[in-house]
Structure 1
Amino acid sequence: MLHVEINGAAPSIADLHRVAVVNYGHFTSMQVRGRRVRGLDLHLRRLEDASKELFLATPGADRIRSLLGQALAQVAGDVSARIAVFAGSGDLSVPTADVDLAVMVSLTDPVPETPQTPWRVRSIPYVRDSAHLKHTATMGLTGARRAAKSQGFDDALFTGPDGLVIEGSIWNLGLWDGETVTWPQAPKLPGITEQLLTSGLHRIGVPTRPRPVVVQDLARYQSAFASYSWCPAQPLASVDDISFANRSEVFTLLGKAWDSVRWETV
């Protein structure tokens, strides 16, 4: 299933051409179940903040929410949703030029949250441009992911020039030492699933912390997991030659924390 709307209407060829050739914009992705979303307010805030930074303007959270609701009314059942903001018109080479912000809502088949077989991950030196933004310039991360998979790994974990672990290709890394969930601290995208899990873990009394981590430090942890919109806690079997025991208790706690997250109706 694929349903796409730009500003609440079927996209024209000119709209799609603009999206295809102008690689300047940002987006957020979410799972929608019965027109409900976990962390909808965080998704809307992400879009607002990124729009202000990239375009010095915003389409407005109420408008985005309305456009998502309108698109959802055209399909039946659960979906995966991606909302992107881009300049529908205007010369982006001129920073002071007015731009007409467009909102594209794409709906595809839902993705089950059930974890896959634990991933084998390869560390790759790479830092995304404007790493705090979920932007559309994904050539570098896609290339790193392809490189990892070509060597038999399931995905890539990015590291910085200082050796710090940053983030996965499209996910944040969580680490468990038997007592605390650690989120590696580095210039990265603050994932919404990470934020929601952190809040949920605090609700059930499990401590979390941001902390700088280098690849060699990973051997100190019992379990590791990828956290992203498709799955809140995808187990990792290994990073390079460092293996994880993936103790069941942490995934039970993560599941309990995730179940505590409030759903919001679109």
Structure 2
Amino acid sequence: MTTFVAQRNGRAATAEELAPLAFAGYAHFTAMQVRDGRVRGLDLHLERLRFASLEMFGRAVPDERVRAHLRTALEAGPGDVSLTATMYAPAHESVAAGAAVEPDVLVRTRPAASAPECPLALAAVEYERFLPAVKHVGEVAKVYTPRQAVGQGFDDAAFVDRRGRLSEASIWNLAFWDGEAVVWPEAEMLTGTMMGVVRRQLDRLGVPQRLQEVTLADLPALSGGVVMNSWSPGVAVKRIGSVALPQAPAFLELLHRAYEAEPPTAP
């Protein structure tokens, strides 16, 4: 049994099948943490894949078939892994010509991941993602901007759009706390599956939430901030650019409690 699995449409992927994908930049994916063979927010991952496939290929793989491919990959490894499901078209020239093509499904697993525990300092970088509602591949910025940020003494990068609004971070969503309510930045961004899990569970817990445009100038009035992705429902942020954010342990505890309230599901 191995942690590293790569399967195409439910079968072990060959080098010949993977070679064209290695040089292609037209695909989308979702990434999840699997624990004991189960995933929190599985429905959100399936919804993400379905929406993005219709947007990029004009057709989507049925959810049940996607789940079957996920199960097959998980059966080949341990119960705790990181899993990535990628949708791509082997001949994307047909897609470019306007044809509706059902994509192939590449499922990969690797060792389970965990988030950093220390509060992060984020560089403020002016950047807007292309097709932000889709988690697509080939984004140089999500590696380049953190690399540049680290060289400047930060841990990662947060994105600021042309209107000065904070949107998201390199591979994270942002969330803030005003002392009473969770504040989600209003801007064009990728809505993360962890973000979706946390939001619906906060609703069930009766915690106030609101959508608000957040600029660097707004940060001093807030009581804390975090980043979140499939690794964690909340990693504290201590600074964005030159603006310090207060630590908010109660906010972090609330986000983690909301995440734990989400029942895990087997594919």
- Shorter-normalised TM-score: what interval? over 0.9
Match of 2:148 in 1: 147
Match of 2:210 in 1: 209
Separation in 2 of the partners of 1:159 and 1:143? 15
Separation in 1 of the partners of 2:100 and 2:184? 39
Give the secondary-structure state (helix, strand or coil) at the position aligned to 1:264.
Answer: coil
CA deviation profile, 1:128-163 (whole Å, cap 9, x unmatched): 110111000211222112111111211000011111
Separation in 2 of the partners of 1:223 and 1:102? 42
Shift of 1:83: 0.4
Match of 2:201 in 1: 200
Change (3 A) 1:11 1:220: same
Separation in 2 of the partners of 1:170 and 1:95? 31
Separation in 2 of the partners of 1:156 and 1:165? 11
1:228 counterpart = 2:219: no
Match of 2:248 in 1: 247
Contact 1:90/1:97, CA 8 A, preserved across alignment:
no
Contact 2:37/2:266, CA 8 A, preserved across alignment:
yes
CA deviation profile, 1:43-72 (whole Å, cap 9, x unmatched): 001101100010001121111100000010
Separation in 2 of the partners of 1:190 and 1:93? 25
Match of 2:83 in 1: 81
Separation in 1 of the partners of 2:92 and 2:163? 39
TM-score (norm 1): 0.95
Separation in 1 of the partners of 2:178 and 2:222? 5
Shift of 1:185: 0.6
Q: Which letter does structure 2 place at the counterpart of 1:51?
A: S
Change (3 A) 1:93 1:66: closer
Match of 1:33 in 2: 35
1:72 counterpart = 2:65: no
RMSD between aligned residues = 1.4
**What stretches of structure 2 of length at least 5 have no aligned partner?**
none
**What stretches of structure 1 of length at least 5 have no aligned partner?**
none
1:262 counterpart = 2:263: yes
Give the secondary-structure state (helix, strand or coil) at the position aligned to 2:133.
Answer: coil
Separation in 2 of the partners of 1:155 and 1:90? 33
Counting matched residue pairs gives 265
Separation in 2 of the partners of 1:69 and 1:10? 13
Q: Which letter does structure 1 place at the counterpart of 2:160?
A: T
Separation in 2 of the partners of 1:106 and 1:13? 14
Change (3 A) 1:3 1:257: same
Q: Which letter does structure 2 place at the counterpart of 1:240?
A: G
Match of 1:117 in 2: 118
Separation in 1 of the partners of 2:99 and 2:204? 46
Q: Which letter does structure 2 place at the counterpart of 1:249?
A: A
Q: Which letter does structure 1 place at the counterpart of 2:250?
A: E
Separation in 2 of the partners of 1:96 and 1:250? 47
Separation in 2 of the partners of 1:94 and 1:247? 48
Separation in 1 of the partners of 2:96 and 2:248? 53
Match of 1:188 in 2: 189
TM-score (norm 2): 0.95
Contact 1:180/1:206, CA 8 A, preserved across alignment:
yes
CA deviation profile, 1:74-115 (whole Å, cap 9, x unmatched): 1123111110000023524633235452101010111235x5
